[in-house]
Structure 1
Amino acid sequence: MPDRLDLLVIGECVADIVRLPGAADQVHPGGSPANVAHGLARLGHGATLLTQLGPDDNGRLIREHLAGAGVEVRTDSATAPTPSAAVTLDDGGHAAYTFEIAWTLDPVILDRPPHHVHTGSIATVMEPGAATVLSAVESLRTSATVSYDPNVRPELMGDHDAAVRKVERCVALSDVVKASDEDLQWLYPGQEPEQAAERWLTTGPAVVLVTRGGDGALAVLPDGHVTVDALPTDVVDTVGAGDAFMSGTLHALASHGLLGADSRGRLRSLDRDIMTDVLCHAAACAAVTVARAGANPPDEAELKAALARC
């Protein structure tokens, strides 16, 4: 890995309250951006999370969880309750969510400019905080590369057409975009996910990644597609799988020296071998995560072991 990079993640924390029939509720730290920051820190990166946390038990749980992995948590002055999501799992471990969340992020002055900025999910569509996120990304991308994951939550997206416009604005500002096939199907009903990703690529990103659950993942590049299979895994639940995929992607790009504004030109000319390696890292991170409960991404040793199966 190159010298330690400063990676900034902007977005929500959520207390995932997992409910299983006949069992007591289990509270897990979550929220897509928070999970990405946690995954990056576990892989040895300097990760800062700009977020909101309430002065309550869930807020303290999440703060301790993130700090324990080495994430620097920065918050604004809001004192609203920490967002929560009731998570129900089907027989295959697939999660469905019911949210109680507000997002009112105010601007926060950073101590130092990051090399890379990641954002996405609720934080980029829910007002008034979404406007703060967009403004921060616009100002920081002059000195940092940017990644984005819409992580669509239909019940929180508001008006469909307005949500699509916000998502497409974030895509255009980003160098690396990751979306699931389900995200793309909600955003563009009736359109094949690959076609939507190809169109996104023409609006600004260097690469668009599409995750397809058990069918693996796809990278859309200017010169074609690169695919990787999902690693065979006994699935416990899928909570945080896409976030682990995202942190694995950024970890691999950093390892190849492809994050930071100075590297933007090389990122935009990715060769297929490097992209295959990036996808393998991402798929391995996701495989480790789905094999255990909650959003629990791998550390460096666990990733190395999983890569042996890629």
Structure 2
Amino acid sequence: MPDPLDLLVIGECVADIVRLPDGDVHVHPGGSPANVAHGLARLGHAVTLLTQLGPDDRGRLIRSHLTEAGVEVRTDGSAAPTPSAVVTLDREGRAAYAFEIAWTLAPVAPERPPHHVHTGSIATVTDPGAATVLAAVESLRTFATVSYDPNVRPALMGDHDAAVRRVEHCVALSDVVRASDEDLEWLYPGEEPETVARRWLGRGPAVVLVTRGGDGALAVLPGGRVTVDAFATDVVDTVGAGDAFMSGTLHALAAHGLLGPDGRERLRTADRSTVADVLRHAAACAAVTVARAGANPPDAAELRAALARDRSRRRDTPGPAVRHP
């Protein structure tokens, strides 16, 4: 059962306007932090999203989507239009993005102290709102664990060197970091993802996770590394896959008692078997999400079913799905 931790997600909501290869267009609620909050609520957690939503049809769509899942939505009262992203999918389900986004988040005090804070993506690199986000994280991390996902969007990152500095600052504030291999290639062209992950680990996090699409995921922690294969699934589209992975990560970390002020030190000494279990939960969440349209993460029952299917598959397939080199 999910723990009673209060989880706070700070970041943007975005209306994803998805253009399919056959010419059809669909509008889905999105935005990386909003997707993480939605995924956590679907898994049974108490989660608040601090964000901006415009008084428009897209804002109402997103708010309804989040609250129906159980997310408590708080805003700063801004009347700016709800941000949007045009997502063009190729015939393999890969997504390319074009954005219309303003991020001007003003300070909003939490109604109650959270046990864990998650942030990332556009919210941490787009001024003036990014300054509000970073100030909040710096204040809250004194009594809450922190997770971060840069979720790089090159068109919105601005000057490359400045973006790298900001990402590294966020990494240093965090206990758990996830990045895709594509994120790391943009930030550090030509470097091996594991090399970057190990360097980031030295900046302060307890664990750095690297997702590699169909090649699975890697966790780097002080005690070594753990890898997990991607779950077998038929890909419909990849929208929200990384966010579902992040939700699954936090869900499993919470179940192991590794979030919150009492979990920080345990997280730093987590063994590889525990991290492997976290990776399996995260990979299962991503697999369910990519098998259907839009950022549509699993609920707790769907996650259990995906894990059971994978256990059955691994019993029937020689060789380990999780490795501890």
TM-score range, shorter chain: over 0.9
Q: Matched residue of 1:79: which SS?
A: coil
CA 1:111/1:216 → structure 2, altered by over 3 Å: closer, same or farther? same
1:122 aligns with 2:117: no
Worse overlay, 276-285 or 23-32: 23-32
Q: What are the within-5 Å matches in structure 2 for residues 270-309 of structure 1? A: 270-308=270-308, 309=310
Please give the alpha-carbon distance, in whole angstroms, between the structure 2 residues aligned to 1:138 and 1:279.
27
The residue type paired with residue 9 of structure 1 is: V
Offset at residue 21 of structure 1 (A): 4.0
* Aligned 8 A contact 2:21 2:90 in 1: no
How far, CA to CA, are the matches of 2:3 and 2:251 in structure 1?
12
Cα distance in 2 for partners of 1:191, 1:71 equals 38
Q: How far apart are the structure 2 equivalents of 1:288 and 1:263?
A: 28
Matched, 1:85 2:85: yes
Name the structure 2 match of 1:38. 38
Q: 1:142-167: CA deviations, max 9, x gaps?
A: 11000000000000000000000000
Residue in 2 aligned with 1:223? 223
Specify the code of the residue in structure 1 equivalent to 2:235: V
Shift of 1:224: 1.1
Query: Which residue in the other structure is 2:108 paired with?
Result: 108
Cα contact 1:123–1:129 (8 A) shared by 2: yes
User: Aligned equivalents of 1:300 and 1:16: distance in 2?
Assistant: 25
Q: CA RMSD in A?
A: 0.8
Kindly report which structure 2 residues correspond to 1:194-233, keeping only aligned pairs within 5 A, or say none: 194-233=194-233
Shift of 1:261: 1.3
Shift, 1:2, TM fit = 5.6
Q: Which runs of 5+ in 2 are unaligned?
A: 312-325
Q: SS of the residue aligned with 2:218?
A: strand
SS at match of 2:266: helix
CA distance in 1, matches of 2:124, 2:200: 17
- In structure 2, how many angstroms separate the alpha carbons of the residues matched to 1:278 and 1:2? 14
Instruction: Report the 3-state secondary structure (helix = DSSP H, G, I; strand = E; otherwise coil) of the residue aligned with 1:261.
Output: coil
Looking at structure 2, the residues matched to 122 and 85 of structure 1 have their Cα atoms a distance apart, in angstroms, of: 12
Write the mapping of 1:38-187 to structure 2, written as runs, cut at 5 A. Answer: 38-187=38-187
Question: Aligned partner of 1:248: which letter?
Answer: G
The 2-side partners of 1:247 and 1:145 are apart by 15
1:8 corresponds in structure 2 to: 8
Q: How many angstroms apart in 1 are the aligned matches of 2:3 and 2:198?
A: 33
Which residue does 2:319 correspond to in 1? none
Looking at structure 2, the residues matched to 232 and 258 of structure 1 have their Cα atoms a distance apart, in angstroms, of 28
Inter-partner Cα distance in structure 1 for 2:20 and 2:277: 37
For 1:132, the aligned partner's letter is T
Work out whether residues 209 and 217 of structure 1, in 8 Å CA contact, stay in contact via their aligned partners in 2.
yes
Structure 1 residue 183: deviation in Å? Answer: 0.3
Tell me the TM-score normalized by structure 2: 0.94
Offset, 1:23: 3.7
Q: Deviations over 1:5-44 (max 9, x none)?
A: 1000000000000012444420000000000000000000
Check conservation: 1:17, 1:25, Cα contact below 8 A: yes
Deviations 1:96-129 (A, max 9, x none): 0000000000000111000000000000000000
Q: Secondary structure at the match of 2:134?
A: helix
Contact 1:2 1:257 in 2 (8 A): no
Structure 1-normalised TM-score? 0.99
User: Secondary structure in 1 aligned to 2:262?
Assistant: helix
Partner of residue 266, structure 1: 266
CA–CA separation in structure 2 for the residues paired with 1:167 and 1:302: 33
Change (3 A) 1:302 1:2: closer
The Cα shift of 1:55 comes to 0.3
Cα distance in structure 1, aligned partners of 2:165 and 2:218? 24
Mapped contact 1:184–1:193 kept (Cα < 8 A)? yes
Q: What is the CA-CA distance between 1:89 and the residue it aligns to?
A: 0.5
In the alignment, the residues of structure 1 paired with residue 153 and residue 34 of structure 2 have an alpha-carbon distance, to the nearest angstrom, of 16
Distance 2:30 2:149 in 1: 15
- What is the rounded CA distance, in whole Å, between the counterparts of 1:185 and 1:168 in structure 2? 15
Structure 2: how far apart are the matches of 1:93 and 1:288?
14
Q: Distance in 1 between matches of 2:145 and 2:121?
A: 18
Supply the distance in 2 between the matched residues of 1:17 and 1:154 (Cα, whole angstroms): 18
